[in-house]
Structure 1
Amino acid sequence: MPNYDLYVRTQSRRTKYPRRLNLPSVEAAHEVALRLARILVEGRSCWEGLAIAACDDFTVEAADETGQIVLTVPGRWMWAHLVQAQVRSSHNRPRA
């Protein structure tokens, strides 16, 4: 299985996720990158130094074994996606 490294890039720095991920495909790496972006946007990160990701100005990048970036997940997109999901779920709640 291929190995992937994840990075969170902001305007001022690029931080590598501490572990290399052994995943079956780039699609699997994409799912993990989406999950990481969601965690950062929701502000649940305990990854030191990434509390800045509470704002939407970051990108999660996945690099293959050669170091080439194979996909990116922009925080701005994830933030908009989560806000839309919250609006949809609040419209679907039964009223008291």
Structure 2
Amino acid sequence: MPHYDLYVRTQSRRTKYPRRLNLPSVEAAHEVALRLARILVEGRSSWEGVAFAACDDFTVEAADEAGQIVLTVPGRWMWAHLVQTQVSSSHDGSRT
């Protein structure tokens, strides 16, 4: 099974997620990167050193076994997606 490393990148630094992930595909790595970005945007991370990512100005990167970046998830996109989802869900149950 392929190994992937996740990184959170801001303008000033790049921080490696402490665990290497054994995932079956790049698509699976993308799902994990999306979840990590969502956690960071929501400010729910207990991962020391990533409080800087509580804003939308970060990118989650996944690197393959060779160290090549195979995908990125921009925090700005995740932030906009979460805001849109929250607005949509607040309107779903409010009609009478």
TM norm structure 2: 0.96
Counterpart residue type for residue 79 of structure 1: W
**Structure 1 equivalent of residue 68 of structure 2:** 68
**Structure 1 equivalent of residue 53 of structure 2:** 53
Matches of 2:81 and 2:54, distance apart in 1: 14
Determine whether 1:37 maps to 2:37. yes
Counterpart residue type for residue 18 of structure 2: P
1:94 CA drift (Å) = 3.3
Deviating beyond 3 angstroms after TM superposition, the runs of 4 or more aligned structure 1 residues are: none
Determine whether 1:24 maps to 2:24. yes
SS in 2 for 1:65: coil
Structure 2 regions of 5+ residues with no counterpart?
none
1:39 CA drift (Å) = 0.2
Counterpart residue type for residue 26 of structure 2: V
TM norm structure 1: 0.96
1:95 CA drift (Å) = 6.0
SS in 2 for 1:7: strand
SS in 2 for 1:24: coil
Structure 1 regions of 5+ residues with no counterpart?
none
Matches of 1:91 and 1:16, distance apart in 2: 38
CA RMSD of aligned residues (A): 1.1
1:20 CA drift (Å) = 0.3
Q: Kindly tell me the number of residue pairs found equivalent between the two proteins.
A: 96
1:71 CA drift (Å) = 0.1
Percentage of matched positions with identical amino acids: 89
Determine whether 1:78 maps to 2:63. no
